[in-house]
Amino acid sequence: MPRYRYKVMDSTGSTREGILEADNPREAAARLKENNYFILNIETEKTPKGRGIRNILPPPRVSKSELGFFCRQLAVMLEAGIPLLSGLSALKKQLRNKRMALAIMNVHASLESGKSFSYSLGKHPEVFPRVLISMVEAGEKGGVLDRVLNRMAEYFQWEHHIRERIKSSITYPSMVLTAAVLAMVFIIIFVLPVFQGILQQIWDQLPFFTRLLLSISGALRNYWYLGIIFASTAVYFLFRLTHSTPEGRVFRDKAKLRIPIFGGLIQRIIISRFCYTLATLLNGGIPILDALEVVEGSVDNIIMEKGIQQIRISIREGMGMAVPMERTGVFPPLVVEMISIGEEVGAMGPMLEKVGEFYDREVEDMANRLSVILEPTLVVFVGVIVGLVLLSVLHPLFKIMGSVH
């Protein structure tokens, strides 16, 4: 979205300058006039010399830890009696993420024009997730905005913790696999050609695996550009297929849940996120149907999204939550049973928090087990593959040397 640098005068005669995101200059001027500003100058922000590449690249995404920091700091200021506008002004100066700082500046301008905090946040869905907007709206209506922001800070910190734990679990296996692939490519492209002249003299006597490796080596050295084009095209179309169509998304998300070892971990993460998010919304006073609509957009799995859609339809028709959850076949029996108890005793939010804590511990334990199991397994796997490749080349050479003697 284009950015416009403006200079305006407020009702007291003081001049102000800033940057505003808008689709066009007319929209930027209209938004400034909504704040009762007299426009002195407005122009498109120019790209500074030497920073063209930086401005071509998309701005950095807002992380969960940054959202947690924003909510926590703003809650502390509100609890201390600092007005919301002053708190946002102070926060804007502390943030290093330019996208978030610019969004807060626009939120500040929207608040000055008389709009609500939740409405102002909702104008920036690329920065502030829907769950935060819904909770802020409930906090504004109930007059407990500081409590809501504290709760959201804990929620975003939990999401950040889960993401970092999963990253740390897959970092080492990813490094080992990458090293294995690079080692294989190096051997096939640079090592095998050294022996190719000798081995081709006894081509008919070579094992099939050795001949296959020599053929692959020749193809990679002579037609490497075709391999890059083919691989890039395949990745592009696979990505489009699994992200652009509903059928592709269903196939992708089903495949994720069926991946050996990792499928169970992914399912537990989804269940944990569903329980924590729904508990946070219900404890914040959001109606169950509205809360489920927000959760539906945050689980990041179309199989779960369709299950939540069925639950919303059933609740709208007057049913409880546990029965339609069981019918979807998406949720484990433990979740269904705990939610059924929560409905009976009228403590859905606390019960969902307990289920979320249980699956959170499951994710932690499973991630730890995966790290312990995968590290030695991958090392052995890489050693076996590299050993087979070397043996397929060295074995025929040893036979030649033996026949000479």
Task: Please report, for the domain that includes residue 45, its CATH number.
Answer: 3.10.20
pLDDT at 400: 66
Q: What are phi and psi of 331, to 5 degrees?
A: -95, 140
Do 68 and 149 share a domain, yes or no? yes
Final residue before a domain boundary, out of 118, 136, 158: 158
Sign of CA dihedral 75, 77, 83, 87: negative
pLDDT digits (tens, 9 = 90+) for 172-218: 778 878 888 888 888 778 877 777 777 666 666 677 777 787 788 88
Contacts with 32 (C-beta within 8 Å, 6 or more apart), sequence order? 6, 8, 20, 39, 42, 109
Do 133 and 71 share a domain, yes or no? yes
Contacts 24+ apart (CB under 8 A), 372-376: 373/261, 374/172, 374/173, 374/261, 375/172, 375/173, 375/176
CATH number, domain with residue 139: 1.20.81.30
Q: What is the dihedral of CA 143, 144, 145, 150, to 10 degrees?
A: 180
Residue 216 within any structural domain of the chain: no
Do 103 and 123 share a domain, yes or no? yes
Tens of pLDDT along the chain (405 residues) come to: 677 777 777 777 777 777 777 777 777 778 777 777 778 788 776 654 444 444 444 566 888 889 999 999 999 999 999 999 898 988 888 888 888 888 898 888 888 878 899 999 988 888 998 888 888 888 888 788 898 899 889 888 888 888 887 787 778 778 878 888 888 888 778 877 777 777 666 666 677 777 787 788 888 778 878 878 988 998 888 888 877 777 888 888 888 888 887 788 888 888 888 888 888 888 888 888 888 888 887 777 888 888 888 888 888 888 888 888 888 777 888 888 888 888 888 888 888 888 888 988 888 888 888 777 877 888 888 788 878 877 777 777 777 666 655
Do 28 and 47 share a domain, yes or no? yes
Do 72 and 122 share a domain, yes or no? yes
Do 80 and 21 share a domain, yes or no? no
Residue 270 within any structural domain of the chain: no
Do 143 and 72 share a domain, yes or no? yes
Final residue before a domain boundary, out of 34, 55, 76: 55
Residue 206 within any structural domain of the chain: no
The H-or-E segment that residue 40 falls in is strand 38-44
Overall pTM surpassing 0.85 (yes/no): no
pLDDT at 237: 87
Do 49 and 96 share a domain, yes or no? no
Residue 76 within any structural domain of the chain: yes
Residue 147 within any structural domain of the chain: yes
pLDDT at 67: 92
pLDDT at 59: 60
Residue 404 within any structural domain of the chain: no
For 50-60, b/e burial (b = at least 16 CB within 10 A) is: eeeeeeeeeee
Contacts with 261 (C-beta within 8 Å, 6 or more apart), sequence order? 370, 373, 374
Final residue before a domain boundary, out of 158, 186, 203: 158
**Of the candidates 189, 184, 191, 4, the residue with the CA atom closest to the CA atom of residue 106:** 4
Number of domains in the chain: 2
pLDDT at 77: 92
Cα–Cα dist 293/302, whole Å: 13
pLDDT digits (tens, 9 = 90+) for 232-259: 998 888 888 877 777 888 888 888 888 8
Do 95 and 140 share a domain, yes or no? yes
In this structure, are residues 305 and 142 in contact, taking their beta carbons and an 8 Å threshold?
A: no
Q: What are phi and psi of 160, to 5 degrees?
A: -65, -40
pLDDT at 215: 82
Do 152 and 72 share a domain, yes or no? yes
Do 69 and 147 share a domain, yes or no? yes
pLDDT at 51: 46
Q: Which domain holds residue 68?
A: 64-158
Do 42 and 75 share a domain, yes or no? no
Cα–Cα dist 232/217, whole Å: 20
Residue 297 within any structural domain of the chain: no
The H-or-E segment that residue 179 falls in is helix 145-186
Which residue is listed with tokens 């006597």?
A: 205
pLDDT at 76: 92
Residue 266 within any structural domain of the chain: no
